[in-house]
């Protein structure tokens, strides 16, 4: 029996991931999300959020992309 089993990491579509971000095993970054520089993502299901900080704190929710402005 393994003490520390492996788990998948899932990153959705239209996701921006900043420099020095750590996405830990089992984490899921949902579609249309932004992960700020230095953030640590440890949890599941972050759709359309801005994630910041060492604990993956959600700064903003329900953000939306406007393709005309990109």
Output the pLDDT for position 70. Answer: 60
Total domain count for the chain?
A: 1
Output the pLDDT for position 69. Answer: 63
Judge whether 1 lies within some domain: no
Q: 66 versus 3: which is more confidently predicted?
A: 3
Judge whether 10 lies within some domain: no
Judge whether 2 lies within some domain: no
pLDDT, tens only, 5-55? 899 999 999 899 999 999 999 999 999 999 999 999 988 767 888 888 888
Distances in Å between the Cα of 44 and the Cα atoms of 47, 49, 61, 66 are 9, 12, 15, 25
Judge whether 55 lies within some domain: yes
Output the pLDDT for position 66. Answer: 73
Q: What is the CATH number of the domain that holds 50?
A: 2.160.10.10
Nearest-angstrom CA–CA distance, 44 and 48: 13
Judge whether 4 lies within some domain: no
Nearest-angstrom CA–CA distance, 11 and 45: 10
Output the pLDDT for position 4. Answer: 86
Domain assignment of residue 44, given as a range = 15-60
């Amino acid at each position: 029996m393994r003490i520390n089993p492996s788990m998948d990491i899932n990153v959705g579509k239209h996701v921006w991931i900043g420099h020095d971000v750590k996405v830990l095993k089992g984490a899921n970054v949902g579609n249309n999300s932004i992960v700020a520089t230095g953030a640590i993502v440890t949890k599941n299901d972050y759709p359309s959020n801005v994630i910041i900080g060492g604990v993956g704190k959600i700064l903003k929710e329900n953000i939306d992309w406007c393709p005309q402005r990109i």
